[in-house]
Structure 1
């Protein structure tokens, strides 16, 4: 590998040993060695700081990383590739033999800093049939401070005809799927198409008019107009989707925070349809008001087939969110949570970040790197694109949150999710994995965007059932591809 090459977080699951420690370089030369003698390890940042004496996980993940999907077509930007950088927003571009994650180079581009489109593009290729396929992108943004958004175009006739995916909007605050210095993998599915032009169009239910005859591709980046962005493109690939396994897709219905209303109000509705859920639990909250009791958790698991997963050990850590804690505090909370779950007969190895936040701890360690020491997957609340089988980054699972049927309370309205061209329609037509994140269920009219009424939940279940979409827990869904 090159002097500054990195395996990146996209390969993290494959780097984990049985002891939960990473066996290689991750992100910006970040390694997680383990001491066989002491049973503890240290996160070595390699740039002037480390977190020492992390306690070895009592229960390291046993779930294997999903089988890597071999591409049926690939461009990895090695010597001799026929793509070129362009757009008025491009300041410079060249082959980069120092920072890469495949082969011996990547393609580096720096934007001009004025908010105008920069792209890496190739046209006039041999015609492609993408029925039953999805796109896989591997890239890095060196410093995402001035990143505004990222798009991908697929089309013909020099992109006169094209479909487009806006697959990342960068937030100045909050957690972003694309973070500075990380090698990021994104899957683009037909369910996520955001626009069409020329002879291509989308039906009222979000169905693309064409899935073949494509000769042109373009990877586009916009900075925020306040400064340049340097990005590296490592791979653009075509890989099989899962319409042959799940022709109408999969929905996972997840609930955060252990609210008792999930047992009292959601369970009776979902039992009628035979649909299980995944409950992400806060250990400290169990057996206190207004949260669930341990017996109710066991009943959900043993009688209704639900999954009892993890959300945090302490309420204090949950309320703070992990990026405000130190790496050792976060790692301890993960470890105690797994110990608590296993000791009570709950064997799920799946997790949801408090407030969806998986950025860096206050001492600079990526939270998702720590999560991978203890859990097979970790779910966010990012929903720029729908999750895929196998997930592009298992410790950054995407989920649609804020679904409610209240009035003018923000979030994602239930009507939009279940209506024509909404999330359910797109899932049913594309064979992908739609993860829904819910919180409280109420009997009356919701007053917060984290609430859904019992009538609304019944309507959601009915619409899923009507479309023939399979409902699986996160654990069940992952079992298909590990």
Structure 2
């Protein structure tokens, strides 16, 4: 059984060129006061890597509509959760001469910046791009964006960030953050608006109202700034039915022995994020198996860490110099063994700061073209808002009572695959080990479950691309 996958996607898995300057820089450029980051360098790391990324950063898609919150913008801060606000704040901004600043009151209630009664807007084939900053995320609970009509009596909403006290967060303190909101991610509908059983919104046009809302945790106030709300072309302009990337972490031998035969039968490639230290040992892939998958099935052999001990600990447990050294050794190992991918996945999804205060994703940008997380509040887009925090859905399993993400959340009506094909997005899936029987942990999926997943993708005619192939669409 071979899918209808275009010959365009049957090429190799090498590093690719991308055009333009990146909006992702807004997520990592501004550091909190006092952070020990050297001027003109990343954490004092001044020596150029021997294999720096050859791909250029993703271009910042031109907006078809843009509100940058300069003079006379007409948006109003408010809400029962607001303590104070300045609609024309000139103390912190990255565009023009000002942004909007709001401080919540620590009650856990909604604080917002909104505008109603605008000229009706058509968002068909579009996504919303937000640019904002949270000064200190300690007491941040969640962030929501609304589009609607009738003074927001009718609206769709996206809960685009729910803050974690333990895991890596897409939104971090003192950073200007870019977020993309696609129709595949819409969370809920109110009033005359509805979302179908297959995840499709009842309308994508006629919107006159927008609201950017922040909720604190009721543990203390949160200060946030809004710099831009924009409308840009969405992923459906490149992939009308969306696209899926099937990625595997940790170099398990079962990827070659069990996953590859299933995926070969559909003509689907995968991206493997490898631990160099583990290759050729125990139950892990060999170099020959990696080359075979790359050269004969179009798979991509990407990076996860050089040292197994680093993978176990994760990069935030290291100094910036130690992390940079592991990244360097990983790229050298990949290149010296004939693997040309410039793509990376963080062990445990962790890209927070090193022990000496340098963001791990900044260090990753010295060596790789993208870096994948395991954040899945919203699904990824083309172009991604931040290629060094690529979002993915992890823990996918056909087991029961073991946690993780149930396979049915992808394959059932209205699940992630339906939303992908009906609305268009870039759905990145993160798998680990494949087993022949019933999975015992959330990092395992059975061959039966993997086959079900591949059939569901194939039946919807969703293109399957490696991460490198997806990034080609910047050129």
Which bin holds the TM-score, normalised by the shorter protein? over 0.9
Distance between the aligned counterparts of 1:420 and 1:266, measured in 2? Answer: 25
Structure-1-length-normalised TM-score:
0.91
Offset from partner CA, 1:30-62 (integer Å, 9 cap, x none) = 76666xxxxxxx53xxxxxxx445542111111
Deviation at 1:449, TM superposition (A): 0.4
Q: Which of these residues, 93, 101, 106, is aligned with residue 100 of structure 1?
A: 93
1:12 aligns to 2:25 (yes or no): yes
Q: Report what 1:79 is aligned to.
A: 71
Q: Report what 1:57 is aligned to.
A: 49
Q: Report what 1:194 is aligned to.
A: 187
Q: Which of these residues, 224, 228, 236, is aligned with residue 231 of structure 1?
A: 224
Secondary structure in 2 matching 1:368: helix
1:144 aligns to 2:137 (yes or no): yes
Distance between the aligned counterparts of 2:149 and 2:295, measured in 1? Answer: 53
Deviation at 1:9, TM superposition (A): 9.0
Secondary structure in 2 matching 1:434: strand
Distance between the aligned counterparts of 1:32 and 1:104, measured in 2? Answer: 26
Q: Which of these residues, 442, 446, 462, is aligned with residue 435 of structure 2?
A: 442
Q: Confirm or deny: 8 A CA contact 1:27 1:183 kept in the other structure.
A: no
Secondary structure in 2 matching 1:410: coil
Q: Report what 1:166 is aligned to.
A: 159
Q: Which of these residues, 90, 95, 101, is aligned with residue 82 of structure 2?
A: 90
Secondary structure in 2 matching 1:266: helix
Offset from partner CA, 1:49-90 (integer Å, 9 cap, x none) = xx4455421111111112221111110111111000010100
Distance between the aligned counterparts of 2:30 and 2:105, measured in 1? Answer: 29
1:264 aligns to 2:257 (yes or no): yes
Q: CA RMSD in A?
A: 1.7
Q: Confirm or deny: 8 A CA contact 2:238 2:473 kept in the other structure.
A: no
1:353-364 matches, cutoff 5 A: 353-364=346-357
| Larger displacement relative to structure 2 (93-102 or 108-117) | 93-102
Deviation at 1:14, TM superposition (A): 12
Deviation at 1:12, TM superposition (A): 2.8
CA 1:14/1:296 → structure 2, altered by over 3 Å: closer, same or farther? same
Secondary structure in 2 matching 1:471: coil
Q: Report what 1:70 is aligned to.
A: 62
Deviation at 1:273, TM superposition (A): 0.3
> Can you give the 5+ residue segments of structure 1 that lack an aligned partner in the other structure?
1-7, 16-24, 35-41, 44-50
When the two structures are aligned, how many residues end up with a matched partner?
A: 452
Structure-2-length-normalised TM-score:
0.93
Secondary structure in 1 matching 2:251: coil
